[in-house]
Amino acid sequence: MSGYDDQNTFARILRGEIPCDIVYENEHALAFFDINPQAPVHILVVPKGSYISIQDFTQTASAAEVEGFWAAVGEAARVDPLIDRGFRIVSNSGSDAHQEVPHFHVHILGGRPLGPILNKYRDVFDSN
Ligand code: 5GP
């Protein structure tokens, strides 16, 4: 992908340069625990290819990569207690969503009642 920063944190995790606590891995995706969890269970799932956004991913990844990525999201969300209690999947894209790491990823959050869907930046929304 043109414009992809191969020094971003998730690229470095995928190359093994930064350690992570792996939840699930397949040929096309890696799932690991977020370093700054926003819920008792907070998992990130990233494709192994170099994609900044879901648009890059769905337009340029192979069907096998797309299938493998979403299969990994489903497998990662089997971790206890998400299956029993429920969970939320979120993906931040671009500046309005406060995407911090420019490598496409989804967050899987759970382990407690999660409140309103947009509560992470409620102060931002309330002031607009
Ligand atoms: P974004 O705001 O881009 O959707 O989310 C990026 C996420 O990556 C944040 O939740 C942040 O805590 C997480 N993160 C940033 N650096 C690291 C790291 O080095 N290791 C892990 N496991 N997570 C990270």
CA triple 95-101-102, angle to 5 deg: 75
Residue 57 burial (10 A CB sphere; 0-12, 13-18, 19+): buried
- Spatial separation of the C-alpha atoms in residues 42 and 4, rounded to whole Å: 25
Tokens linked to 106? 């989804």
Give me the pLDDT at residue 118, please: 78
Q: Is the pTM of this model over 0.85?
A: yes
What is the amino acid identity at position 126? D
What average pLDDT score do residues 82-103 get?
95
Catalytic position from the list 28, 103, 105, 107: 105
pLDDT tens digit sequence for 66-79: 999 999 999 999 99
Atom number, ligand 1, closest to the C-alpha of residue 100: 3
The CATH class of the 9-126 domain is alpha beta
- Spatial separation of the C-alpha atoms in residues 28 and 66, rounded to whole Å: 8
Give me the pLDDT at residue 12, please: 98
> How many Å lie between the centroid of ligand 1 and the Cα of residue 105?
10
Tokens linked to 71? 């299969």
Look at 11-25, 40-54, 106-120 and tell me which has the smallest mean pLDDT: 106-120
Atom number, ligand 1, closest to the C-alpha of residue 91: 4
**Are residues 82 and 31 in contact, defined by beta-carbon separation less than 8 angstroms?**
no
